[in-house]
Amino acid sequence: MPLSWDLILRFTLGGGQRRFTRFVALASLLGMMVGVAALITVLYRALPEELAPLEDRGLLVLNADGPQGAGFDYMFEAMNEVDRAVRRAIGDVLEATITVTSPGFGASTTTNTGFSRVILKDAEERELSQQEIVPLLEQGLSEVSSVRTFVRQPATINTGGRGLPVQFVVQNSDLEKVREVIPRFLEAARSRPEFSFVQVDLKFNQPELVLEIDRTRSDALGVSAREIADVVQASLSGQRYGYFLKDGQQYEIIGQMLREARNDPGDLSRLLVRDAAGTLIPVDNLVTRREQSSAPVLYRFNRFTAATFSANLAPGYTLGDGVDAMREVGDEVLDDTFSTDLDGESRELVETGSSLVFVFGLALLLIYLVLAAQFESFRDPLAIMLTVPLAITGGLLALWYFGQTLNIFSQIGLIMLIGLVTKNGILIVEFANQRRAAGLSIAEAVEDAAASTKNEKSPIGAFFVFAEAVGLKPRPERTWGRAHRARRASSKSPTGDLR
Query: How do residues 54-65 score in pLDDT, each as one tens digit?
Result: 788 888 888 888
Question: What whole-number percentage of the chain has pLDDT above 70?
Answer: 83
Mean pLDDT of the chain: 79
**Residue 84 corresponds to which amino acid?**
R
Strand 206-213 versus strand 239-246 pairing type = unpaired
What mean pLDDT comes out for the span 90-119? 78
Q: What is the pLDDT of residue 341?
A: 92
Largest CA distance in the chain: 139
Strand residues in 335-438 grouped as ranges (E): 339-342
202-211, 395-404, 464-473: segment of lowest average pLDDT: 464-473
Q: What is the pLDDT of residue 466?
A: 60
Q: pLDDT digits over 115-166, tens only?
A: 889 999 888 888 888 888 888 888 888 888 888 888 888 877 776 666 788 9
Residue 489 reports pLDDT greater than 60: no
Report angle CA 127, 130, 136 to the nearest 5 degrees.
85
Burial state string for 57-71 with b = 16 or more CB within 10 A and e = fewer than 16: bbebebbbbbebebe
pLDDT band at 190 (very low <50, low <70, confident <90, very high): very high
**What's 470's DSSP letter?**
H
Q: d(Cα 279, Cα 335) in Å, to the nearest integer? A: 57
Residue 391 reports pLDDT greater than 90: no
pLDDT band at 221 (very low <50, low <70, confident <90, very high): confident
270-274, 287-291, 323-327, 469-473: segment of lowest average pLDDT: 469-473
Strand residues in 233-271 grouped as ranges (E): 239-246, 249-255
Report angle CA 53, 97, 166 to the nearest 5 degrees.
35
Phi, psi of 331 (to 5 degrees): -65, -30
Whether the CB-CB separation of 311 and 189 falls below 8 Å is answered with yes
pLDDT band at 16 (very low <50, low <70, confident <90, very high): low
**Residue 88 corresponds to which amino acid?**
R
Residue 452 reports pLDDT greater than 50: yes
Q: What is the pLDDT of residue 484?
A: 53
* Residue 389: Cβ within 10 Å count: 18
Q: What is the pLDDT of residue 469?
A: 59
Residue 227 reports pLDDT greater than 50: yes
Q: pLDDT digits over 299-351, tens only?
A: 888 888 899 999 988 888 888 899 999 999 999 999 999 999 998 888 888 88
Residue 463 reports pLDDT greater than 70: no
Q: d(Cα 408, Cα 84) in Å, to the nearest integer? A: 38
What mean pLDDT comes out for the span 429-458? 71
Q: What is the pLDDT of residue 9?
A: 45
- DSSP letters, 130-161, are HHHHHHHHHHHHTT--SSEEEEEPPPSS--S-
Residue 23 reports pLDDT greater than 50: yes
Cα of first residue to Cα of last residue in the chain, in angstroms, is 65
More confident residue, 238 or 136: 136
* Residue 255: Cβ within 10 Å count: 13
